[in-house]
């Protein structure tokens, strides 16, 4: 494809390929073993019902979370939440000696739910099968955290309680502190990435200068 359609030197795919080629065999193995499953687990579900329930919650909170964070920041937070909640689940299972699959989809959904409930604690929520029974978002978040804490402490296996807690705590932390600490200070990282992409603009595959 490069012969048919030459790529720019700063092309993202080539940057990733160069970085991957610079790793040792051991580093590549560790990167694949640790990172890939945690990222891909963000899109994994135990069953069709599990997926349907998660997608319903995500759909219900999508308008609120995107209005709070914006599209780009939401995607970054969602993927990060999947990795973090899966990692928390790994740690909990290793500590308790329970070797079961860890899926980050529910943890990422919990991050969305917790973020919205933290920023909008007085918002009214309802259960789909009991629409007449309403409660505040703040109360719902407290109940969910209490339930998952009890489940983790008592060894319940109904849900991945560790992943839920990891996702919820990450969501609460991010909307309280993370947005200011990470997203608003991303400019140096973006600038460094831009400089890396545009380095040596006059060489290779039709690079352009700014």
Q: Report the catalytic residues.
A: 106, 164
Angle ∠(70,11,32) on CA atoms, nearest 5? 75
- Nearest-5° Cα angle at 43, 45 to 20: 135
Helix (H, G, I), strand (E, B) or coil at 136: strand
Reference 44, options 16, 82, 3, 74; nearest CA is 82
Run of H or E including 143 = helix 137-154
**In 3-state terms, the chain is what percent helix, strand and coil (to 5)?**
70, 5, 25
């Amino acid at each position: 494809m490069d012969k048919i359609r030459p790529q720019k030197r700063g092309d993202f795919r080539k940057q990733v390929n160069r970085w991957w080629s610079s790793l040792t065999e051991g580093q590549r193995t560790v990167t694949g073993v640790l990172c890939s499953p945690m990222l891909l687990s963000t899109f994994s579900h135990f069953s069709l019902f599990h997926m349907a329930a998660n997608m319903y919650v995500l759909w219900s909170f999508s308008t609120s979370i995107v209005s709070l964070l914006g599209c780009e920041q939401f995607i970054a937070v969602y993927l990060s939440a999947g990795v973090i909640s899966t990692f928390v689940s790994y740690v909990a299972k290793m500590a308790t000696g329970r070797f079961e699959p860890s899926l980050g989809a529910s943890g990422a959904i919990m991050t969305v739910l917790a973020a919205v409930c933290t920023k909008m604690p007085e918002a009214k929520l309802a259960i789909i099968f009991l629409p007449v029974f309403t409660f505040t978002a703040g109360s719902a978040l407290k109940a969910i955290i209490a339930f998952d804490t009890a489940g983790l402490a008592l060894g319940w296996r109904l849900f991945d309680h560790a992943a839920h807690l990891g996702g919820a705590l990450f969501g609460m932390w991010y909307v309280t502190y993370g947005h200011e600490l990470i997203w608003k200070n991303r400019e140096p990282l973006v600038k460094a990435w831009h400089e890396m992409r545009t380095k040596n603009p006059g060489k290779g595959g039709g690079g352009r200068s700014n």
